[in-house]
Amino acid sequence: MITPGLDIAAYCQQHRVKFVRKDRSCMMRFFGWMFGLFGFDFMRTAWTTIGRTVYFPISGPRREWIAILPSIRPTIEHELIHVEQYRKLWHMHSLLYVIGFPLPFLFAWYRWRSEREAYLHQIRHYGYSVTAVVDTLWYTYGWCWPRSRMLRWFYQMSEFRKMSTTSSSDPGLEPSLTDFVTEEPAFGAPTPPPDPPPSQRVS
Ligand SMILES: [Zn+2]
């Protein structure tokens, strides 16, 4: 189970989790080209987990020991939740994620289910904004689920119910997409990664 107290380095060693920079993967470069056609900077802004491999953006740290960096811990935990999902369903997880199931868009239940678990973790433990997360899920995960339903679910499941006043402008808790990027060399900002959208988004 992924928790804020988890020894990430030990977990990664035990479960053979690898970290790979996106530009070192042909598959990621292909996805980058594809998403670039739609104006999405997949290589610089999105973290992507496929199986036990976490691909980190080229704007992020260069080293593989990023797993132990506290500044990107929320992002790493998000990605490790996808590793846990993979460990339960193996390649079925990746397949269902890509196709969304039952539909690729709007009612992509499996993609929504997979991401909501990871983002709820960030909302609960790291104070991410519900509305910002829903915006991210809506715009960069292939409109995976109706926005009103996503908002309702997160507010019900999180402790931010009181903020359920909509709008993407919850004070102080509003990470934009740029917050999802870890800038080099500062290994900076806490980063909820919008991992890649639908097709790519193989998690
Ligand atoms: Zn994710």
Cα-to-centroid distance, 120 and ligand 1 (Å) = 11
Residue 156 CA to ligand 1 centre (angstroms):
20
Is the pLDDT at 1 greater than 60, yes or no?
A: yes
Q: What does the pLDDT read at residue 70?
A: 79
| Predicted confidence (pLDDT) at residue 157 exceeds the cutoff of 60 | yes
**Facing residues of 20 across strands?**
55
Q: Which of 173, 198, 189 is nearest to 40 (CA)?
A: 198
Laid out side by side, the sheet with 18-21 consists of 18-21, 53-56, 48-50
pLDDT digits (tens, 9 = 90+) for 16-46: 999 999 999 999 999 999 999 988 999 999 9
Rg value, the chain, Cα: 16
Q: Residue 193 pLDDT more than 80?
A: no
pLDDT for residue 88: 96
How far, in Å, is the centroid of ligand 1 from the Cα of 165? Answer: 25
Distance 171 CA to ligand 1 centre (A): 24
- Ligand 1 geometric centre to CA of 169 (Å): 22
Domain boundaries, the chain: 8-180
Distance 166 CA to ligand 1 centre (A): 22
Decide: helix, strand or coil at residue 51: coil
Ligand 1 centroid, distance to 186 Cα (angstroms): 23
Instruction: Please answer whether residues 109 and 145 qualify as being in contact, where contact means their C-beta atoms are separated by less than 8 angstroms.
Output: yes
CA of 81 to the centre of ligand 1 (A): 8
What's the gap in Å between 24 CA and the centre of ligand 1?
20
What pLDDT, in 10s, does the model give residues 67-120?
Answer: 667 788 999 999 999 999 999 999 999 999 999 888 888 899 999 999 999 999
Q: pTM of the predicted model, to two decimals?
A: 0.76
**47 Cα to the center of ligand 1, angstroms:** 8
| pLDDT per position as a tens digit, 124-152 | 999 999 999 999 999 989 899 999 999 99
